[in-house]
């Protein structure tokens, strides 16, 4: 990766300050090149509750670097409960709709999946003598990212394509701010003709808008093939624009909505971090996602004009110098800002017949203000309005 020369410098904790809080053995290194987004923080044990100073330090690190990764957490001490406790420092945890049997019903009537239908139960059925979920996986706030459901020794694997480039849940009035992975197992098979885990299968018609440029299509499909998560640095993409382009974008608002017939709401296309003042493009990519997701519209533009405008912004974000593909490893905790990055899930296998093809990770996402001390003090009214269904992590999480 080539480091963009005009990537904005933002204040953040020094290496010495991080070591003072987490131990002298801590090492802080770039995930890619010096000056690019992302830091790997080795030797920091996240299994114990954080002090307020430690929590502030991690929030500041994320504000500064957009992605922070903590390898080699001991799964005998750090489990999914630990991840949810950690997540609460970055925002209020969102329950995942797929954990509910009747999501969409009134909140008072929502029911969690019965035990025999829970993701953890179905994961544990695939290879019960080899791989099972960790403690805490059944929390409503945890989404189990896996290809083990429906898998087993007798299955025939299938390859499926990656997702669109996106940020998570950006279409609500208070967008999702932070997401994180805790990795239990990654695929180790490398059996394609390229020596990768999978090939990249062709897209179905309508996955992206057919009039998007060939150059943008090529950037979208430059995906990792060993189960990595691909990220794009939207703060660096904004910083690389000319002052005139930045000034123009600072005034642009887009109407985001979940369904095409929703009224939606206007939001700036440029996000300004309230703690650092750092600016980033906030996921201007929904205009060309075919017919499956409601398009974003730029205020004052038609749907077609909006698509063409936002395709230019997406192409800017996906330039190779702003890209980073994160290699997952068991024990990793990786946290990213949804305001300053795009990401996409990679092509993968499903219905696998060997743990050499297994992918098992835990994702938690959150929104709202960081909290250096726990438990959080979000008002009931705010939770009711912004966390659907309303949910608070248990204090013991």
Average pLDDT, the chain: 92
CA 257 to chain centre: 19
Please give the domain boundaries of the chain with CATH numbers for all domains.
Answer: 15-386 (3.60.130.10)
Strand-strand pairing, 360-367 and 143-146: antiparallel
pLDDT of residue 261: 85
Does residue 119 come out as left (phi exceeding 0), alpha (psi in the -120 to 50 range) or beta?
Answer: alpha
pLDDT of residue 292: 66
The pLDDT of residue 396 is above 70: no
Other beta carbons within 10 Å of 226: 20
Measured distance CA(353)–CA(318) in Å, rounded: 34
- Percentage of the chain with pLDDT > 90? 80
pLDDT, one tens digit per residue, over 338-356 is 999 999 999 999 999 999 9
Beta strand extents in 201-314 (DSSP E only): 229-233, 253-256, 265-268, 270-272, 279-281, 297-298
Output phi, psi for 191, to 5 deg.
-115, 5
- Residue of 321, 273, 328, 267 whose CA lies nearest to 296: 267
Other beta carbons within 10 Å of 52: 12
Cis omega (within 30 of 0) on the bond before 319? no
Confidence bin at 6 (pLDDT 50/70/90): very low
pLDDT of residue 277: 95
Instruction: For residues 117-143, give the mean pLDDT.
Output: 96
Placement of tokens 């205009």 in the chain = 287
Measured distance CA(126)–CA(70) in Å, rounded: 28
């Amino acid at each position: 990766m080539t480091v963009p020369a005009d990537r904005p410098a933002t204040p953040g904790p020094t290496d010495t300050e991080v070591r003072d809080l987490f131990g002298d053995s801590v090492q802080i290194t770039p995930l890619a090149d010096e000056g690019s987004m992302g830091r790997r923080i080795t030797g920091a044990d996240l299994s114990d509750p954080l002090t307020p100073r430690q929590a502030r330090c991690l929030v500041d690190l994320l504000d500064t670097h957009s992605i922070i990764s903590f390898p080699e957490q001991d799964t005998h001490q750090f489990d999914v409960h630990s991840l949810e406790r950690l997540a609460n420092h970055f925002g209020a945890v969102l329950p995942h709709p797929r954990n509910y049997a009747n999501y969409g019903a009134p909140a008072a009537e929502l029911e969690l999946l019965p035990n025999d239908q829970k993701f953890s139960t179905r994961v544990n059925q695939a290879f019960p003598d080899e791989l099972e979920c960790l403690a805490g996986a059944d929390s409503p706030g945890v989404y189990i990212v896996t290809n083990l459901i429906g898998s087993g020794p007798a299955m025939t694997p299938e390859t499926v394509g990656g997702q669109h480039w996106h940020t998570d849940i950006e279409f609500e009035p208070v967008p999702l701010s932070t997401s994180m992975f805790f990795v239990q197992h990654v695929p180790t098979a490398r059996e394609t003709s390229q020596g990768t885990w999978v090939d990249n299968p062709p897209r179905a018609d309508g996955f992206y808008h057919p009039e998007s440029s060939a150059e943008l299509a090529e950037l979208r499909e430059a995906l990792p093939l060993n189960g990595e998560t691909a990220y794009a640095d939207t703060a660096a993409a904004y910083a690389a624009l000319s002052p005139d382009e930045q000034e123009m974008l600072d005034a642009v608002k887009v109407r985001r909505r979940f369904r095409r017939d929703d009224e939606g709401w206007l939001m700036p296309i440029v996000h300004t971090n309230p703690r650092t003042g750092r600016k980033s493009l906030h996921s201007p990519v929904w205009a060309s996602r075919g017919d499956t997701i409601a398009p974003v519209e730029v205020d004052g533009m038609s749907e077609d004009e909006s698509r063409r405008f936002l395709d230019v912004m997406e192409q800017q974000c996906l330039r190779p110098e702003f890209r980073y593909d994160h290699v997952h490893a068991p024990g990793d905790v990786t946290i990213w800002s949804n305001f300053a990055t795009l990401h996409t899930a990679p092509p993968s296998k499903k219905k696998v017949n060997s743990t050499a093809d297994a992918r098992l990770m835990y994702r938690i996402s959150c929104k709202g203000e960081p909290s250096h001390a726990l438990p959080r003090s979000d008002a009931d009214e705010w939770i009711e309005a912004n966390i659907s269904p309303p949910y608070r992590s248990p204090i013991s999480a």
